[in-house]
Structure 1
C-alpha cells in the first residue's frame, strides 16, 4: 500500500512513519497543503492521510481541489482535533471518505486505512495505466513501453516517469521531481540531471524522436513528437 501523509506536526508525522513503514507500507509526506497537492497530482496513492489544519492550503480546501479540480478519487482519511458534528460534516462535504479525531490510536488508523483501500479497490477493480503518445506505463506493475517496445528503468527512473506522465504535457519543476524521489533529504549534487539522462537513454535514444525535454531554469516535460508546444 502506498500512502501520502499531509501533516505539518513533526511529532505526529514521525509517529506515523515509525508505525507504518516497518509494516511494509510505502509512505510519502508533505508538510503543507500545496506540497500535498503536488504529490497527489503527480503520483498514484492507495490512500491519503490529510490533516485539516495545514499552512497555505488547509485540508478542506486541498480535499476539494483533489475531488473537483483534479478528479482524483483516492480515498482520504481526514485527521483533526475538532470533533463537533459541523466539523465532521465539513470534512465529508469536502470529499473526505473517513474522519479520525486526534489523539487517535495508530492501530485504529491502520484498520481504517485498510478498510478504505479495500472499498476503493472494490469500486475500481482495474488500476490506472498512464498513456501519453506511444508511451505507456503501468505504475503498479512497473511496466513501461514505447511504441510497443518494453522499457527497463531503475526505481528512480520509474518515479520520474510517473511524475512526468501524470503531468504531461505540463512542465514538472525540478523541485517537484526531487521531492518525489528524495523527499526532504535532497542530495547536494545535481543527481537529478544524471537520472534524467538515464531516463532519456531509455525512452528517447532507441527511437527517432525525443519525448523528454528540458525547460531551462524550470524543470522537465514530456511532449509528443511534432505536437505543438
Structure 2
C-alpha cells in the first residue's frame, strides 16, 4: 500500500542521528525539515504546517519538554509530537505525556517503527481535526492556517487565527479568557495585556472585512462571535 506523504519536523541536535532520520524519511518520499535547537524548532513548528514533530529531549539550548509545551501552546493546529529520547524511565515518560507528548519512543529505535508511529499520529490528528470549518460567513482552513470572510481572505496573525479557530469551534457559546490563554500559551502566558492586544487586532480585522462588530466582549467571562443571522428572526 502506498504511504501517505507526510511533512515531518525532526528536532535532534546529534548530527548522526539527525542525518539518519532525515535521510530515511526523505527516502520514503516524505518532506522532512531539521532543527538542531529548541528555539529553531519552536519557530519552524509555529510558522509551517507539519504533520508530526519528532522531538529529542536533550537539546543544547533548552529542555525538550519545554519545547513540547511551547509547540503545543503556539501551533495553530493540534500538532502531534513524538518524543525520541534515551530517557526511558517511567517517570520520564509520564512527564513527557503530561507536557503534551502524543507518543514516546526510547533510543535506540528502529527507523521503520518511527515511520509507523508517525503515520499513526498523523491519521489520529486528521480524524480529530476538521480541515475546513464553516461558521456563518467565516471559513477556516486549518492545514493552511487561513481564514476567509465570505470567500475573501482575512489578514490575521498566527495568534489571531488561533483565537478565531477556538471562537468558531465553541460558537455560539462564549469562550472564557482563561480558556483562550490556556489555548494560546499553556501554563506560561506572557504579560497580562497580551490577550487583550491580540483580541483588539482580531476584532479590527473582522470589522474591516464585515463592516460591523463581530467579536463581542462578555463581561466577567470572555469573548463570543456574533453573526448577522443570529440577530434576526
Residue 74, structure 1, aligned to residue 68, structure 2: no
Structure 2 Cα separation of the partners of residues 13 and 165 of structure 1 = 34
Residue 21, structure 1, aligned to residue 26, structure 2: yes
Question: For residues 97-138 of structure 1, what are the alpha-carbon distances to aligned partners after superposition, in whole Å with 9 as ceiling and x for unaligned?
Answer: 1001111000011111111111111111x2268xxxx9x995
Structure 1 contact 43–166 (Cα < 8 Å) conserved: no
Picking from 52, 59, 67, the partner of 2:57 is 52
Residue 108, structure 1, aligned to residue 126, structure 2: no
Q: Which residue of the partner structure matches residue 12 of structure 1?
A: 17
Normalised by the length of structure 1, the TM-score is 0.58
Q: Which runs of 5+ in 2 are unaligned?
A: 1-5, 161-203, 209-233
Question: For residues 189-228 of structure 1, what are the alpha-carbon distances to aligned partners after superposition, in whole Å with 9 as ceiling and x for unaligned?
Answer: xxxxxxxxxxxxxxxxxxxxxxxxxxxxxxxxxx96x98x
Q: Which runs of 5+ in 1 are unaligned?
A: 151-163, 170-222
Structure 2 Cα separation of the partners of residues 144 and 119 of structure 1 = 24
Give the deviation of 1:67 after TM superposition. 2.2
Structure 2 Cα separation of the partners of residues 71 and 149 of structure 1 = 20
Change (3 A) 1:148 1:2: same
Q: Which residue of the partner structure matches residue 167 of structure 2?
A: none
The number of aligned residues is 161
Structure 2 Cα separation of the partners of residues 122 and 11 of structure 1 = 34
CA RMSD of aligned residues (A): 3.7
Correspondence 1:199-210 to 2 at 5 A: none
Structure 2 Cα separation of the partners of residues 148 and 128 of structure 1 = 13
Give the deviation of 1:60 after TM superposition. 0.2
Give the deviation of 1:26 after TM superposition. 0.8
Larger CA Rg, structure 1 vs 2: 2
Give the deviation of 1:147 after TM superposition. 8.2
Correspondence 1:46-195 to 2 at 5 A: 46-70=51-75, 72-124=77-129, 126-127=130-131, 167=158
Change (3 A) 1:128 1:81: farther
Residue 3, structure 1, aligned to residue 22, structure 2: no
Structure 2 Cα separation of the partners of residues 71 and 43 of structure 1 = 10
